[in-house]
Amino acid sequence: MTLIENMLSVNGVAFLMFCIFAIAALGYGLGRITIKGVNLGTAGVFIVALLFGCFFFEPLKAELMVGEVAYVDNALKIIETFGLILFVTAVGFIAGPKFFGNLKKNFKSYILLGLVIIVAGGLSAIGCIYLGRALGETNYAEFTAMIVGLLSGSLTSTPAFSAAKDTVLPEYVNAVSVGHGIAYIFGVIGVVLFVQLVPKFMKANMDEERAKIAQIDDGAKKAYTGKLIDLDDFGFAAFAFAAILGTLVGKFVVPVIDFSLTTTGGCLMVALVLGHFGRIGKISIMPKEQTLKIFRELGLMLFLIGAGIPGGAEFVAMFDVMYFVYGVIMTIVPMIIGFFIAKYVVKLSLLNNLGSITGGMTSTPALGTLISTAGTEEVAAAYAATYPIALIAVVLVSQFLIRFFS
């Protein structure tokens, strides 16, 4: 991109950085617009990134060329993955101190909710498969691949997306990608709005709700009274250690079922454990609170930009109204069923309920919004407890749908 003729030019990687900061600035501005107490928050960045992808993806692609090869997809994937690692690692550290106490108190509830939400999503997908066949879909294998892609998009689940692509026949991989791209947008925005609207519809007293979630103990961990050694003033070294170890854990594959936690799950699990113990001997492994808040928000912003730009480009190219409707169904039905099960069956408090919904829906952006809406980061413990169950379940459900409905 050339500005003011030859006096000022922004090209290549510099153009990508320019776009990222421009999207962030506009996105946060959009996210601050409040209508009847509801705003998009950080998800405003996602909306602007989508619009950028719709209208400016090709100019960005042209700037990120080496000869005839475009590396825009790789560049955006790096931004998305880096942001996700920052976010989930920060969330793990934040949730760690109370995670095991929360898990001990509500263990069965979290397992039930993680399974119920994903199974509800799977049953919604089956319903959409039969509806599509009734409406005239004749290529069952391709349509099922599309539906599974829609399911992974509606739950914003990269592991389910990857598992589906690995399971389908090679000629149907593109159908999975198309479905994922179509459903992903509402999969993000729908859950973000849900966690804001529910407290308002219920006229919840947020001070009382915060008090309920703050009553959970820290798992009876005995406080250390000695002086700890900090490796640096901000806790960057401890954070980096958790991210490195989490990446390695996430890449470990269970041989029999061919399953891994992925980078996201690995970083989350490691940070939860390190955040719970807080130290190794006399060495502190707990980053400073302000560091975690900054990394959490920066990570979420980068993740939304990295996912939103290609998502916007794909949405324009692939959009189909009926497939979009299927995706909406597969986002809304699991959320509502999970919410009512949490409220009336296992009787979780409102913030624990919504935290579990974000984990069960594997929705990283919704957790960021819920933290802002709730006014406390302690909701992250419910997300962290439900997320691993949902992560495993959604991969298995996706594989089941392909094998039995293709």
> Which has the higher per-residue pLDDT, 16 or 175?
16
Q: What is the pLDDT of residue 100?
A: 78
Lowest-pLDDT range of 240-254, 259-273, 288-302, 342-356: 259-273
Over range 270-287, report the average pLDDT.
88
Alpha-carbon span 164 to 159, nearest angstrom: 9
pLDDT in tens, 95-139: 887 777 777 777 888 889 989 999 999 999 999 999 999 988 878
Q: What is the pLDDT of residue 215?
A: 67
Whether pLDDT at 295 is above 90: yes
Lowest-pLDDT range of 154-163, 306-315, 353-362: 154-163
Domain ranges for the chain, please list them.
Answer: 2-217+227-405
Whether pLDDT at 351 is above 80: yes
Residue where the block lists tokens 């829609």: 150
Residue 5, phi then psi, degrees to nearest 5: 55, -120
pLDDT in tens, 200-222: 888 888 888 888 877 665 555 56
Q: What is the pLDDT of residue 19?
A: 93
Q: What is the pLDDT of residue 353?
A: 92
Confirm if 374 and 206 have CB atoms less than 8 A apart: yes
Over range 213-235, report the average pLDDT.
71
> Which has the higher per-residue pLDDT, 59 or 105?
59
Over range 253-269, report the average pLDDT.
76
Q: What is the pLDDT of residue 224?
A: 64
Residue 8, phi then psi, degrees to nearest 5: -140, 120
Q: Which residues contact 370 (CB under 8 A, 6 or more apart)?
A: 195, 351, 354, 355, 358, 379, 383
Q: What is the pLDDT of residue 344?
A: 93
Over range 42-67, report the average pLDDT.
86
Mean pLDDT in the chain? Answer: 85
pTM (predicted TM-score) = 0.77
Q: What is the pLDDT of residue 123?
A: 95
